[in-house]
Amino acid sequence: MTKHIELPEGYRLESCDDIGLAVPVPASWNAWSYPASPRTHIHCFAEQCFVRPDGKLQYETGLSIGTFRRVRALTGYAPARLAVSLATGIHGARLLPTSEVEEHINGSLTFFSRTFERPAEETRKDPALERSYAISGISHDETDTAYIMVFETPADQWDIDREIGRTMIDGVRIIER
């Protein structure tokens, strides 16, 4: 059960029981999840989504959450070390940082957050790639878990949508069992 929290007007609290998080989501947005591995699902939230020609779901503005469990057992490192690495940049993705890594604590969660954008040479080839991102690596030492949260939106909507992303990421709570 999650403690009652005040939500901004127009938001609902979406429980992701399998990963132990609750996320404030705009009330009109859709939610779905899909298996990423035998141990976890990716959770996604978006206003509207569509199916791409390759069969994958795509959205204009949205948030996705990935989970890494048993961090110490599998890597020998504390979840915070993985969370910092996640916020530094998604390995293999060609993204340029537009801010420094910021750290803050909310209850038992430690957040490491940074913003990114696509390089100009990629967006010239495909304007649909002109997107901005807020990426947060989040650690929860008590459960030996790290999360990655990626909020993305078209670059020309960033000034409008970044508050939605901030509300969703900063409002994440652990589901207390």
So what's the pLDDT on residue 1? 43
Distance (Å, rounded) from C-alpha 140 to C-alpha 42? Answer: 17
So what's the pLDDT on residue 2? 47
Closest CA to 142 of 166, 172, 165, 109: 109
Question: What would the 3-class secondary structure string for the chain be?
Answer: CCCCCCCCCCEEEEEEHHHCEEEEEECCCEEEEEEEECCEEEEEEECCEEECCCCCEEECCEEEEEEECCHHHHHCCCHHHHHHHHHHCCCCCCCEECCCCEEEEECCEEEEEEEEECCHHHHHHCHHHCEEEEEEEEEEHHHCEEEEEEEEEEHHHHHHHHHHHHHHHHCCEECCC
So what's the pLDDT on residue 93? 66
The pLDDT profile of the chain, 177 residues, written as one tens digit per residue, is 445 568 899 999 999 988 899 999 999 998 988 887 776 678 888 887 767 677 766 678 899 999 998 999 988 999 999 999 888 876 556 788 899 999 999 889 999 999 988 777 777 777 767 888 999 999 999 999 999 999 999 888 899 999 999 999 999 999 876
Q: Give the max Cα distance, the chain.
A: 48
So what's the pLDDT on residue 39? 65
Q: For residue 85, what are the CA distances in angstroms to 36, 53, 94, 111, 145?
A: 20, 32, 15, 12, 14
Residue ranges and CATH numbers for the domains of the chain are 11-174 (3.40.1000.10)
So what's the pLDDT on residue 57? 63
